[in-house]
Chain A
Amino acid sequence: MRKLLRRILLVDFLEGLRVTFRHQHPKKIVTMQYPAERPKVAERYRGAPRLNINPENGQTLCIACDLCALACPEALIVVGWERNPETKRKDLINFTYDTSRCMFCGLCEDACPVDALELTQDFELASYSREGAIFDRQVLEEGIQPTRYKF
């Protein structure tokens, strides 16, 4: 009898609806209004790559050792270097990083002995062309400049 009454009065549905309405409170809204509101990603986030510059003299930290290129499973890093005849050291000429093939696994970052290559918190990597996804040294050093919309 009770069972029948429960069925007729739709108690099982009402119980479910109670949960639904409990979550209607505006304070409980979790949707983020991106891009008006920008998420703060974690410190260790593996996003857009960056080639770090020594803040003291403005020179690149990269020693052109090629370890990152060797560690990358996708072989998408190309380090261009030239032997400096005076100092006998390798000078970085160019650095190409193809983000369109990158899976942001972080192996290159781990391999770098001087922490020159770093995956940063920038996550807006979209570009209008395929060429735009291939970062050269300039982009890597200056960082990507995503469009900031005004609201």
Chain B
Amino acid sequence: MSGTFLDSTELVLNMGPQHPSTHGVLRVIVKLDGEKVTGTECVIGYLHRGVEKIGENRTYAMFAPYVDRMDYVAAVSNGLGYCLAVEKLLNVEAPPRAQVVRVILTELNRIASHLLWLGTHALDIGAITPLFYCMREREATLNIFEKYCGARLTTHAFRIGGLQYETYEGFEQECLAFCDMFLPKCDEYEELLTGNRIWVQRLRNVGVLNAEDCKAYGVTGPLLRAAGVKWDLRKAQPYSGYDKYDFEIPTCENGDSFDRYIIRMREMRQSVRIIRQAVADIPAGPIMAKVPKVIKPPVGEVYVSIEAPKGELGYYIVSDGSTQPYRVRVRPPSFVNLQSLDKMARGSLVADLVAVIGTIDIVLGEVDR
């Protein structure tokens, strides 16, 4: 390094855990050369509640509400993954009606999760307005959850073997009304952001992660698709009847933050498409499969993964034949995606680090569990 007076010595700085743009309690130790990031290290665990350990001390049905508290922004997806895993262990399948309702709620939740991401990410970048609009639209989905199952955030909407609650009167109409209302709003967000030069300049070529890196790090979800890999578990290994619906997997080329924004915007539109198809055709019938009152799966182990809003969410459950799981291991998308932070942030500016953390879309409840 040439020795001019502008040179600075290396500086090690703590970002977080109370930094508002770390989306919770993430602590990043940043190595800085002036304004340039030369290395990062994540310190996690501030929100560790031992969810996996709790699972070993609860019966299968009792553990279901706890999984909602991992990725609390997308609690319905968490619940779906867990229920599917235990159902596979029990070798039962939810009845068709339950499956369709599950798909509707999960897609609504995907929209809610992406909306919260969009609002907070824009806030990090400096666009304050979208947050309020996103929250307003998210409220509509939360109202549907509230009417359906009685809770807004940690919903506990699904049960092992199907559903606990029958859909309420006007459920279909409300979902369709939401779809009709939401698409123009989506255009509105794009009007606010996509063309905005600050937005584009802050995100273009920031936090680039190409397809090889994504695969090496095990990154999934919108990050992977932004790098051009067409991989979505809803298509790759359909669950809960996703193969019946006609939808596309949006992909982009560059794998930078802007592409991830575009991917998520398109994904929300695809979710609306799925909801429309699902609502149009909710079969009649029971909502609960024949599941014994005391759930006692046979000895064995399963791994079931679903496409959560943030990526691949997997549950690995080992049963020793008792009423409680022997081991519950969760593969949280946020945790795995967060590992690519260093790769993305190295060499960028401090301000870009904020953008990169935002673009991964982490929820610390899920990272720390």
Task: List the interface of chain A (C-beta within 8 A of B).
Answer: 7, 12-13, 15-16, 18-20, 23, 30, 41-46, 71-73, 103-107, 110, 119
Contact = CB atoms under 8 A, between A and B. Distances in A.
A46 B65 contact: no
A16 B192 contact: yes
A12 B147 contact: no
B125 interface: no
A23 B65 contact: no
B188 A41 contact: no
B139 A73 contact: no
A132 B148 CA distance: 30
Contacts, number: 69
Given A12-B197, A16-B192, A45 B63 contact: no
Contact of A105 (B136, B156, B192, B193): B156
A103 B139 CA distance: 21
B146 A15 contact: no
B191 interface: yes
B70 to A, nearest CB: 13
B168 A107 contact: no
Contacts of B143: 42
Contact of A42 (B146, B156, B191, B196): B146
Interface in B53-71: 58, 61-66, 69
A17 B343 CA distance: 36
B65 A45 contact: no
B344 to A, nearest CB: 26
A8 to B, nearest CB: 12
Contacts of A106: 149-151, 156, 164
Contact of A44 (B61, B129, B148): B148
Contact of B62 (A43, A45, A107): A107
B168 A44 contact: yes
Given A105-B156, A106-B156, A107-B62, A45 B192 contact: no
Contacts of B154: 103, 105
A15 B195 contact: yes
27 contacts: A7-B197, A12-B195, A13-B196, A13-B197, A16-B191, A16-B193, A20-B129, A20-B192, A30-B136, A30-B139, A41-B146, A42-B147, A44-B147, A44-B149, A44-B165, A45-B150, A71-B62, A73-B58, A73-B62, A73-B63, A73-B66, A105-B64, A105-B154, A106-B149, A106-B151, A106-B164, A107-B61
